[in-house]
Amino acid sequence: LSLAEKASLVGAFDYIVLKTLYSLRGKSEFVSFNSLRKKLDVKNDEELKISLLKLNELKLISKDPTEFSFRLTFSGLDILGIKMLYLNRILYKLAEIIGEGKESIVYHGYDFDNNRIVTKFHRVGTDSYKKIKFRKDLEKKDWLSITVENAKREFDALECIRREGGYVPKPLGVQYNAVAMEHINGKELYKKADTVNLKEILEKILETMRIAYNICNITHGDLSPYNILIDESGTPFLIDWPQATDSEEILKRDLINIATFFKKHGIEVDVHKMFDYVRGV
């Protein structure tokens, strides 16, 4: 079943069960049937059991192998995001998958006026989780919270940069791990290098990085010709901002990545000048 099909099978009570599992996250990985029924204040255990069975079958939750305890899966979290984006009249319906990255699944979809939009569902993979697990500030956090924070961080980055005139997709909303944004009708820069005005594109990329760094206190952290989309008018859009942090070291690495690509395509670049421009010195 597709995510959209699963969403349509989730009834009002199932949805409340998912929401409650989310709200009880963190204390331990799995939530016991008992704490679930207490929190939900259900009169009839059967109704809850049936819902849990169904959600488990849809793989929106998973059961502890030994106890009668449950936790949300990534798909379960996706469903919460979809429902809330729908209730906020941002996402009318999901369509096909555009891309499955290391830390997300990206879907096409439609808003309530039938415009094409994009929804990115964040997922903290086991690899990236292992990496951050050792950071002190994140030590006590569960993967659901980390994933939701990543989505919020990407939305906030898009919102600030866009508001200040940078070239990023217009953010439309964020709910749980789901970030809805404008759909850019185009292709990644690495596929378009021979048919576009590279000088103009480089200027817009640097302008966007300057706004991000100076005004929004954000560095991209994974900037490359794969994370820059070129639309039909030849305008670049910088995407994929979840790892955004504020670091000069990372900024330099991003700039070197970009400079290498443009040099390879015959554009003269001076990394030091770029670095000074973006930092505003």
Angle of helix 45-57 relative to helix 33-40, nearest 10 degrees? 120
Site string for ligand ATP, 211-230 (x = CB under 6 A): ---------------xx-x-
CB of 26 or CB of 101, closer to ligand ATP: 101
Angle of helix 271-279 relative to helix 248-264, nearest 10 degrees? 140
Interface positions with Mn ion (CB under 5 A): 227, 240
Rounded to a whole number of angstroms, the minimum distance from the CB of residue 11 to ligand ATP is: 30
Q: Which of 166, 196, 186 is closest to 116 using CA atoms? A: 186
CA distance 80 to 16: 10
- Is 183 near ligand ATP (CB under 6 A)? yes
CA distance 142 to 196: 44
Assigned token pair, 88: 């906020």
Site string for ligand ATP, 89-128 (x = CB under 6 A): ---------xx-xxxx-x-----------x-x--------
Distance between alpha carbon 261 and the CA centroid of its chain, in Å? 26
Rounded to a whole number of angstroms, the minimum distance from the CB of residue 156 to ligand ATP is: 15
Amino acid at residue number 172: L
Task: Please select the residue that binds ligand ATP; options are 85, 178, 239, 244, rule is CB under 6 A.
Answer: 239
The answer to whether the CB of 47 falls within 8 A of the CB of 35 is: no
Site string for ligand ATP, 48-67 (x = CB under 6 A): --------------------
CB of 69 or CB of 147, closer to ligand ATP: 147
CA distance 148 to 170: 19
Q: Under the rule (CB under 6 A), what is the footprint of ligand ATP?
A: 98-99, 101-104, 106, 118, 120, 169, 181-184, 226-227, 229, 239-240
